[in-house]
Amino acid sequence: MKERTKGFALKVVRLYASLPKSVVAQTLGKQVLRSGTSVGAHYREAIRSRSDAEYISKVEGALQELEETGYWLELLADSEVCQVEAAAALRREADELTAMFVSCAKKAKARKGQRSEE
């Protein structure tokens, strides 16, 4: 997951670097750059968490950033600021990462629930 989220961030960085220098492209690009690169940061914070609650919070933060990244990617593609396929490839990766993070959150919540019952 560590490498996967870093790879996602690097693809976002490359997309941003390839965008036109127009105000619209740069404004939308900075948004996707910020949210897309923070997914990995949230994950790294999660793996260093001190409790299940903190882990869940960080994983859910990553999920929020993935959702936001998807939104900005949609706007980039729909406004024809970038190639649709470039944005679509990142959207697919965001969707796969989302599924992985949802699974992590569910497992942690189940583990936390089991501990509270003891």
CA 44 to each of CA 91, 99, 110: distance values in angstroms, whole numbers, following the listed order: 21, 17, 21
- pTM listed for this prediction: 0.90
pLDDT of residue 62: 97
Backbone angles phi, psi at 65, to 5 degrees: -65, -35
Find the domain containing 12 and state its range.
2-117
Q: How far apart are CA 63 and CA 57, in angstroms?
A: 10
- Token pair of 115 as six digits: 């501990």
- What CATH number is given to the structural domain containing 7? 1.20.1440.60
pLDDT of residue 83: 87
Q: Quote the Cα angle for 99-80-5, to 5°.
A: 30
- Token pair of 65 as six digits: 């950033």
pLDDT of residue 111: 84
pLDDT of residue 112: 72
Looking at the structure of the chain, the number of domains it has is 1
Q: What is the pLDDT of residues 66-87, one digit of tens each?
A: 999 999 999 999 999 998 888 9
Q: How far is C-alpha 108 from the geometric centre of its chain's CA atoms?
A: 19
pLDDT of residue 59: 96
pLDDT beneath 70, residues of the chain: 114-118
pLDDT of residue 77: 94
pLDDT of residue 2: 94
CA 33 to each of CA 20, 26, 55, 90, 113: distance values in angstroms, whole numbers, following the listed order: 14, 10, 24, 12, 35
Please report, as a single letter, which amino acid is at residue 108: A
